Amino acid sequence: MTARTWWTTVGFGGTSSAPVGPWPDPELARQSLTRWAQRKGYRAGTIIAAHTLRVNGYRSRAAARDGDISDGPGRHGCVSITGLNDFLAGMGQD
């Protein structure tokens, strides 16, 4: 069985309008977050520019659902941290 990485957004400071996930595939996460950014326009741009939202990868769906901004690789099943801007640009992938 191949290990799957689950992707979710974690943030602080007014990021509650962003989609949370978890998503089983980084492309699904990217599509959802891109639609959100297009829909929210400048509000999403403000959140992205403030670096208050990240996309974390976790070893399990349950860990991704419990993801927190304070998680780092090796903590609570977190295996990847990518800033939203870099994630949308396609960086930080498996």
What are 6-57's pLDDT values in tens digits?
999 998 866 678 888 999 999 999 999 999 999 988 888 888 887 788 999 9
pLDDT of residue 94: 47
- Within 8 A by CB and 6+ apart from 58, the residues are 5, 6, 7, 8, 22, 64, 67, 76, 77, 78, 79
Residue whose C-alpha is closest to residue 10's, from 59, 60, 74, 80: 80
Specify the pTM: 0.82
- Within 8 A by CB and 6+ apart from 87, the residues are 26, 29, 30, 33, 54, 55
